[in-house]
Chain A
Amino acid sequence: MFFPVSVDWRTALAAAPAGGLALFNPARGPLAVRQVARALLEEAAVLGGGQVLHLPGGDLLVGAQAAPGLRAGQLIAELTGKMPESWPLPEGRAQAEARCRNASPAGELPTLAALEARCAALPVTELSRLTFFAEGTSERPVAQRLAPVSLGLPDPGLEALAREWICRRLLAALADPAQRSALPALWPELRLILDLPQGGLSKGAATGSGIGALALLPLVSRADPARFASTEASLRAAGWAVGLVATDARALDWVEAPGAAWAVPVSAVPPRQLPAQLILLGQPVPDWARRPGVLHEVQTP
């Protein structure tokens, strides 16, 4: 059931025998997810005869048999939550071609120098986002979060680096009256939640607004217990409460941080144990979140 390997994906689609399969995994989401999916497609191509073509907009498996490709697709869906699209061949050839042609190409990862330059060149007005939070079943904002803008990079390591660089610029802008006016205006009656770089506030940074406010440190800062303890102590001494921000809600299930406030992206299912205070980032707000001690995002007041 083997057929000649083609350099051109259209030729490959056309050459597939009857009973074959086209399966397309678009280039979306984290790079890790894409690479795992690609490896599973490659394996299906080895097992069932066929080839995987790396297109600008995603990976295309053209398989001589349908079953291995469908199994790979199922596994990809279970691992990543997203089912690749598939078409029986030759019937679905036109549809597969159209989908592959129209898929928007994935962006290239920046080099470290390019990323640093990009973070350094962001205008002050684009450094941060101000979002508002209500508690429980109420929709009345009680808190505001000033957070570094997310670049949406598909690599969590690069995104974390960018967060550090942007957080430092955000702090500097907050401390500088000339730049501060370019940041979103804070609401004095709402509690402030401020994302900080791993090292917390640098010495001499303005802490006037710190009283009663919540500082969010990235979860990875807990990996260095001595440094975290000293950062936490100096923040508390300056009147801040200290919380953790994680990039995925599943961290709540694994990490024991009694008494800590946590900020995590919204998830459809509640964590196994709720922390003392939970701040859910993003929307839509799931029903389980409408309870005391859980803050959820609301529209601008």
Chain B
Amino acid sequence: MSQAAPDLFWEGSAPMRDAMALVTLARECVASGVERRALYLRLSLLPARLRDPRHHRLVREVLAPVLRPTRARLYELPGGDLVVLSPPPGEHLDEVRKSVCRVLPEMARDSAMPLLRLPAESARMLSLLEAALGLQALPVAAQEIAAALPIPSSAEMDAALRALATANLSAYLRRQTIWRLVAGDEEPQPIWTELRPHVPDIAAALLPGRALAAHPAFARRFRHAAERRILAELSRPEEARKLGAACLPLGLGTVTEAEFLRLEAVLGPRGRRDLVVCIPVEEMLLDPAGFALARELADRRGWRLGLDEMEPELLPLLPASRLDLPLLRLRFRPQLVSGDGALRATWDAALPADRSRIVLIGADAPVAVAWAWQRGITLFGGRVLEARL
């Protein structure tokens, strides 16, 4: 994805729009059975020395005369790939191929310039588009990587929890910004500072060689203990005064612990108005009574309680029509763009109608912003915005 970096900003959103348009088109071909031919020029595969603007211009100059008299359309993708789309039979696409080979012999391979028949080869087209959109570069879940290590024993957990209870975790505190970014705006606006302990690093220090994430119940306890230490720091009056508009992703068990309740009290009615707390979905399912208590407490005390770590697949289980919350932090997943159409429709239907309540987290690729904007979602947390500033 690094090679695609210059194209990843939303200002240069033409390639993003083109990519999204092709995704839609590939799907429509499947739905309607309409035939199309697509020549996919994977210019992003070229060695770096051949990917400068000069070469790009050269390719476009070669393409222009071949395409002008035809009904073919050219799409530019993030990362520099080009797609020429034409109704069948599309003989001129072969001519395009030959011309490109003349100026760039490095492209003279089928894998570099696949000619795809839609709808039959839509799946391949979609996977190429996903690569161009940066979806494949999204990080693999930590759980999968850690699976090879043994889980900690109860005794090891107890020792780690004891060590955590007095540890100073200020070095492990992560601050991220939640942004509002509206299509057409020059600059994203910071809305909240998200504060959380970086649990994987703390686990690596206190439980080395153990796969904490592979045992969800242990991982939750560990996380709660880490959060309590962070909150103990934040609730010192001089720290609490500086807190400002904050979004705290917290475990449900943490919200009713003394450390959070102290922070909540120290903030006072005004400070609490700027406070948002988000509970992971799994903890809400584990302890509905505790969630009801936290929700009631939030209402009475004037802070807001939302849900964290909402996965697309969990949306139909917890539709906004049933559980109306002031905030929903939805994690961006490639399936939101590339998944089965009927499934994606059920996910859309479960979103809160008031889109200002949704924060798209894990917005690490521009496609996440594109997906969100199509649905009126404008709050983001993730690398795509952090990297820009």
Chain A interfacial positions (CB closer than 8 Å to B): 30-33, 35-36, 38-39, 42-43, 46, 75, 78-80, 111-113, 115-116, 155-157, 160-161, 164, 218-220, 222-226, 246-248, 250-251, 253-257
How far, in whole Å, are A46 and B224 apart by their CA atoms in the complex? Answer: 27
Closest to A160 in B: B286
**CB distance B285 to A219 under 8 Å?**
yes
Known: A156-B287, A220-B285. Contact between A39 and B292, CB under 8 A? Answer: no
**CB distance B217 to A157 under 8 Å?**
yes
Known: A112-B221, A253-B322, A255-B317. Contact between A32 and B290, CB under 8 A? Answer: yes
B239-262 to A contact mask, C-beta < 8 Å, 1/0: 000000000000001001110011
**CB distance B314 to A223 under 8 Å?**
yes
Closest to A75 in B: B300
**CB distance A250 to B217 under 8 Å?**
no
Asked whether B316 is an interface residue with its Cβ less than 8 Å from the other chain, the reply is yes
**CB distance B253 to A248 under 8 Å?**
no
**CB distance B261 to A36 under 8 Å?**
yes
In this complex, how many residues of chain B approach chain A with their Cβ under 8 Å: the count is 45
Main secondary structure of the interface of A (DSSP, over half): helix
**CB distance B154 to A248 under 8 Å?**
no
Known: A112-B157, A250-B292. Contact between A255 and B258, CB under 8 A? Answer: no
Asked whether B345 is an interface residue with its Cβ less than 8 Å from the other chain, the reply is no
**CB distance B288 to A248 under 8 Å?**
yes
How far, in whole Å, are A39 and B261 apart by their CA atoms in the complex? Answer: 6
How far, in whole Å, are A35 and B255 apart by their CA atoms in the complex? Answer: 10
**CB distance A79 to B296 under 8 Å?**
yes
Point out the residues of chain B lying under 8 angstroms from A115, CB to CB.
154
List 19 additional contacts besides A79-B297, A156-B289; criterion CB under 8 Å.
Answer: A32-B290, A35-B257, A36-B256, A36-B293, A38-B258, A39-B262, A78-B300, A80-B293, A112-B157, A112-B218, A157-B217, A157-B221, A219-B288, A222-B314, A222-B317, A223-B281, A247-B287, A248-B287, A248-B289
B269-308 to A contact mask, C-beta < 8 Å, 1/0: 0000000000001101111111111101100100000000
**CB distance A256 to B257 under 8 Å?**
no
How far, in whole Å, are A156 and B252 apart by their CA atoms in the complex? Answer: 10
Expressed in whole angstroms, the minimum distance between the Cβ of B244 and any Cβ of chain A is: 22
**CB distance B316 to A42 under 8 Å?**
no
Expressed in whole angstroms, the minimum distance between the Cβ of B266 and any Cβ of chain A is: 10
How far, in whole Å, are A112 and B162 apart by their CA atoms in the complex? Answer: 11
Point out the residues of chain B lying under 8 angstroms from A113, CB to CB.
153-155, 157-158
A-B contact pairs, 30 of them (CB 8 A): A32-B293, A36-B293, A38-B258, A39-B264, A78-B296, A111-B158, A112-B154, A112-B155, A113-B155, A113-B157, A156-B286, A156-B289, A157-B221, A157-B224, A164-B217, A222-B317, A224-B216, A225-B313, A225-B314, A247-B288, A248-B289, A250-B292, A251-B285, A255-B285, A255-B317, A255-B318, A255-B322, A256-B317, A256-B319, A257-B317
